Amino acid sequence: MACRDDDDGGSQMVKQPDPTPVELEVPTHFFYVGSPFVPADNPTTEEGIALGKKLFFEKKLSRDNSISCSSCHNPSLSFNDKGNALSQGVDGTFGIRNAMPLFNLAWVPLTSGRFNWHGAAMSLEEQAFEPVRNQLEMKQSWEAAVAKLQADPSYPPLFNAAFKTTTIDSNLVVKALAQFERTLISGNTRVDKHVQKEVAGLDIPGGPFLTDQELRGYDLFVAEEKGDCFHCHGTFSNPLWTNNLFMDNGLDVNPDSGLAENTGRSADLGKFRVPSIRNLGYTAPYMHDGRFNTLMEVLDHYDTGIQNSPNLDPNLDPNAKPRNLTLQEKEDIIAFLMALNDSSFVNNPAFQP
């Protein structure tokens, strides 16, 4: 509550204005995947987004004030960690999995969706709790983090504007972070323009937007007898380019526990979140442990390197039908993937510190 003087010279309490609702800016062709999911208890607001952005770049969230969320999720790299397979936390310790890029997270279903490579969190809000207290990342208790924010005079007014309270708590911190993260929408690549004009039939200027090689790459991408990438990563009608599910892609005979770490199901052993194939030009190295430095290495894995892991996805078994992709075909697929780099997203001033 804020105070002001009234005409009598006394003071009275006035209500803090409600935060201003914000409708997420969704690219036109995203109607193919429906509206973004926003939880009823954390609506997106101007003030919440602004606070979330400030917190995203806030180093006070780490024990020694050395790193922020953006240290491992760099907006200029599609919110990925620059070239690092594993990210460095406080005191120089390293995490155990590759930092995931951040975009289009508002389309992960609210009730059934999971976040992180291994599906540890059931919501964006829940996900934001972990890095602060993780002993390989920010290494700080939430009590300490909140105390630092509360003592910083810039924060209470911002929390007041966003949540109508100057008393900061961790639940509000993660809510603000999640609001900001839901605004990270990537949908403005040449592939997107192609889909808008040639698939959705929208009236947009310009084109053709894809080269013959890129279109050949897409053809191989969706052909079950060739790349067969689409069963997990989608077609032109899924601009997310992921199914937001968890799959075992045959990296190791004895895999990392993956999703099973959180579900306890043996059938989930070795399953990891299917990443979007957007913005791959900014997010090397690849896979949950960053083992592949190039997209050619990734395609070589799917072509000839699949291991018979316990829950290997049937879409990938080389014993059924080997892919036998030629070098030219791999280059075509990579050309298509590179057309999914969204330079306007990584340069968006709204996402920069």
From the list 319, 323, 321, 287, the residue with the least C-alpha distance to 303 is 323
Beta-carbon contacts of 328 under 8 Å, excluding residues fewer than 6 positions away, are: none
User: Which lies closer to other proteins via its Cβ, residue 101 or residue 239?
Assistant: 239
Interface map 224-263 toward other proteins (x if CB under 8 A): xxx-x-xxxxxxxxx-x--xx-------------------
Q: What's at 17, amino acid-wise?
A: P
Q: What is the DSSP letter of 219?
A: H
Interaction of residue 92 with other proteins, rule CB under 8 A: no
Interaction of residue 3 with other proteins, rule CB under 8 A: no
User: Which lies closer to other proteins via its Cβ, residue 143 or residue 317?
Assistant: 317
> Can you tell me which of 136, 200, 296, 338 binds other proteins, judged by CB under 8 A?
200
Helix or strand holding residue 197 (H, E): none
Interface map 314-333 toward other proteins (x if CB under 8 A): xx-x-xxx------------
- Residue 349: asked if its preceding bond is cis (omega within 30°), the reply is no
Interaction of residue 202 with other proteins, rule CB under 8 A: yes
User: Which lies closer to other proteins via its Cβ, residue 146 or residue 259?
Assistant: 259
What are the backbone angles phi and psi of residue 47, rounded to the nearest 5°? -70, -35
Distances (CA, A) of 341 to 66, 76, 187, 236, 331: 30, 12, 9, 15, 16
User: Which lies closer to other proteins via its Cβ, residue 48 or residue 258?
Assistant: 258
Interaction of residue 80 with other proteins, rule CB under 8 A: no
Q: Distance (Å, rounded) from C-alpha 303 to C-alpha 295?
A: 12
Interaction of residue 112 with other proteins, rule CB under 8 A: yes
Give me 58's structure tokens: 């806030």
User: Which lies closer to other proteins via its Cβ, residue 13 or residue 327?
Assistant: 327
Q: Distance (Å, rounded) from C-alpha 118 to C-alpha 139?
A: 20
In the complex, what is the shortest distance from the CB of residue 42 to other proteins, in angstroms, rounded to a whole number?
21
Residues in the chain: 353
Give me 164's structure tokens: 């109508």
User: Which lies closer to other proteins via its Cβ, residue 133 or residue 231?
Assistant: 231
The answer to whether 188 and 27 have CB atoms below 8 angstroms apart is yes
In the complex, what is the shortest distance from the CB of residue 254 to other proteins, in angstroms, rounded to a whole number?
15
Interaction of residue 185 with other proteins, rule CB under 8 A: no
Q: For binding to other proteins (CB under 8 A), which residues are involved? A: 31-34, 107, 112, 199-202, 215-216, 218-226, 228, 230-238, 240, 243-244, 266-267, 308, 310-312, 314-315, 317, 319-321
